[in-house]
Amino acid sequence: MPAVAVAAALSLAACGSSGPSAATSDKGLTMWALTDQTILKESVDAYNKDHPDEKITLRLFANDDYKQKLRVAFGANQAPDLFFNWGGGALNDYVEAGKVEPLTDRQVNLLRFMPSVLKSAAFSGKTYGVPANGLAPVVLYYNKKVLKDAGVEPPKTYDDLSSAVKKLKGKGVTPLSLAANSKWPTMMYLEYLLDREGGAEVFQKIAANGSEDWKSPAVTKANARLQELVKAGAFGKNASSVGYDQGASTALLYTDKAGMELMGTWEYANLVKAAPDFVKKDLGYVAFPAVSSGAGDPKNVVGNPSNFLSLNSDSKNKTEALDYLKNYAMNEQQIDSYLAAGSVPPVNKLEDKLAQTKSAADKQWLTFVYGLVEKAPNFQLSWDQDLPSSQADPLLTNVDKSFLGEIKPEQFGKNMSEASK
């Protein structure tokens, strides 16, 4: 999924300052992040208040520009001391180039974070990032009223999902709202279907080894199931013309025109903002259904464990950077701010704080997300973030081709195998 969705775990207005483009300097930290990271900015403000003579200069970027600007900055040795990222293959590219400083628990108190989240920033036994915002697993949202009217229960298995599609279609509503024009929402289905079919290890092998593992039978089967859903009318007739950023797929759910929507946890904040009464009365959510014949653990989740802040190995301010990462990034104040905004921080032992949530709807939601991740044997980072950046475009292109039926299920793996050579 694109950074704009991943980073938007909270639908909050952007604010902040734009510092100079110069990177690591002799006095004061530099940090780069995205414009929508308003709670992250609060931690920078707190640090600056306590360090008036050595402030962090925070530069905020629009999503579309960020990754390219970061690559250019590292190439020119002008990257910031601390940089916001998604972990996975893109971060590992910098790690392998010697651009990122490994972090230890003693330095930044890593043990406070969920182990499944830290995996996305860990390579060869070392950790290269501190989680910087809330958990963003992908879940199946549903409209209680629409499902009830169609005689449908929230699906627990793929067979349940297939049955629900038929019943909802028969009632004249779109079974599964999908912004297929954006491509990455379609990828979410393949991520879960592959996980449920073959288990987490199938994509782990793909990410580790590359081309030939894309030809796994489980990859073909996952694409076949996606195309089965398309042919059954699961996504309606106009999904390919719907983009996510315009909010149309979200609106289909809360206006009773769709039964379900597969989307990241940031969608909850979007729904609260657009349709608060719907959230209180008719919004439901479950984990992605199990595939009874598959090898995958139905407790596994996909999505984005968190975004990360990583330390430039050439930083001249490592002591100050480690102080910030240990004492300001995701501290108690940050945790409270994320919870208040409907986002679950990726830290351990949150039960007491969750129990104190005042809103019943928010408490139920936060507890659901926390439990989903805490119990997950594996939290798979979104494929387009986990793979090397050079494979992201071919991946999304082939996801779309599979959705449109322009390639056969087995061709998806063959195409990706070629793209990853």
Query: Collapsing DSSP states into helix, strand and coil, what is residue 211?
Result: helix
Mean pLDDT across 222-226: 98
Tokens of 364: 């139920």
Q: What is the gyration radius of the CA atoms in the chain, in angstroms?
A: 21
Tokens of 93: 């590219």
Asked whether residue 7 carries a pLDDT value surpassing 50, the answer given is: no
Name the residue ranges covered by the structural domains of the chain.
3-134+305-348, 136-302+379-419
Phi-psi bin for 183: left (phi > 0), alpha (psi -120 to 50), beta?
left
Mean pLDDT across 385-411: 94
Mean pLDDT across 288-316: 96
The pLDDT, as a whole number, for residue 162 is 98
The pLDDT, as a whole number, for residue 13 is 27
In this structure, which amino acid lies at residue 177?
S
Asked whether residue 103 carries a pLDDT value surpassing 90, the answer given is: yes
Asked whether residue 22 carries a pLDDT value surpassing 60, the answer given is: no
Contacts (Cβ under 8 Å, ≥6 apart) of 183: 396, 397, 399, 400
Query: Collapsing DSSP states into helix, strand and coil, what is residue 185?
Result: helix
Taking CA atoms, 119 is separated from 110, 113, 350, 368, in Å, by 12, 10, 20, 21
- What share of the chain in percent tops pLDDT 90? 81
- What share of the chain in percent tops pLDDT 70? 93
Mean pLDDT across 119-145: 96
The pLDDT, as a whole number, for residue 9 is 34
Cβ distance 357 to 366 under 8 Å? yes
What is the average pLDDT score of the chain? 91
Q: How far is CA 245 from the centre of its chain?
A: 15
Own/partner pairs for 273-282, CB < 8 Å, 24+ apart?
A: 273/11, 274/247, 274/250, 278/143, 278/254, 279/361, 280/361, 281/144, 282/143, 282/144, 282/145, 282/254
The pLDDT, as a whole number, for residue 121 is 95
Mean pLDDT across 295-318: 96
CA nearest neighbour of 31 among 84, 91, 103, 93: 84
The domain defined by 136-302+379-419 carries CATH number 3.40.190.10: yes
The pLDDT, as a whole number, for residue 12 is 29
Mean pLDDT across 208-220: 92
Tokens of 240: 């390919």
The pLDDT, as a whole number, for residue 25 is 54
235-275 pLDDT per residue, tens: 999 999 999 988 999 999 999 999 999 999 989 989 999 99
Contacts (Cβ under 8 Å, ≥6 apart) of 71: none
Same fold, 3-134+305-348 and 136-302+379-419: yes
Asked whether residue 10 carries a pLDDT value surpassing 50, the answer given is: no
Mean pLDDT across 366-374: 94
Asked whether residue 18 carries a pLDDT value surpassing 50, the answer given is: no
Cβ distance 121 to 310 under 8 Å? yes
Contacts (Cβ under 8 Å, ≥6 apart) of 57: 19, 20, 28, 29, 30, 31
The pLDDT, as a whole number, for residue 23 is 55
Asked whether residue 3 carries a pLDDT value surpassing 50, the answer given is: no
399-418 pLDDT per residue, tens: 999 999 999 999 999 999 99
Asked whether residue 326 carries a pLDDT value surpassing 90, the answer given is: yes
C-alpha to C-alpha distance for 228 and 165, rounded to whole angstroms? 11
Which value, to the nearest 10 degrees, does the dihedral of the CA atoms of residues 396, 399, 405, 407 take?
90
The alpha helices in 120-199, defined as continuous H runs, are: 144-149, 158-170, 184-198
**Which residue is associated with the tokens 């983009």?**
243
The pLDDT, as a whole number, for residue 26 is 60
The pLDDT, as a whole number, for residue 347 is 94
Asked whether residue 19 carries a pLDDT value surpassing 50, the answer given is: no
Residue 84 is given by DSSP the state E
Query: Collapsing DSSP states into helix, strand and coil, what is residue 36?
Result: coil
Q: Which of 181-190, 283-292, 380-389 has the lowest mean pLDDT?
A: 380-389
Class of domain 3-134+305-348: alpha beta
Q: How confident is the model at residue 35 (pLDDT cuts 50, 70, 90)?
A: confident
Taking CA atoms, 343 is separated from 7, 142, 236, in Å, by 12, 19, 30
In this structure, which amino acid lies at residue 85?
N
Q: How confident is the model at residue 131 (pLDDT cuts 50, 70, 90)?
A: very high
Residue 247 is given by DSSP the state T
CA nearest neighbour of 82 among 124, 123, 122, 47: 47
The pLDDT, as a whole number, for residue 65 is 78
CA nearest neighbour of 19 among 74, 81, 71: 81
For the chain, counts of helices (H) and of strands (E): 21, 13
The pLDDT, as a whole number, for residue 169 is 98
The pLDDT, as a whole number, for residue 8 is 36
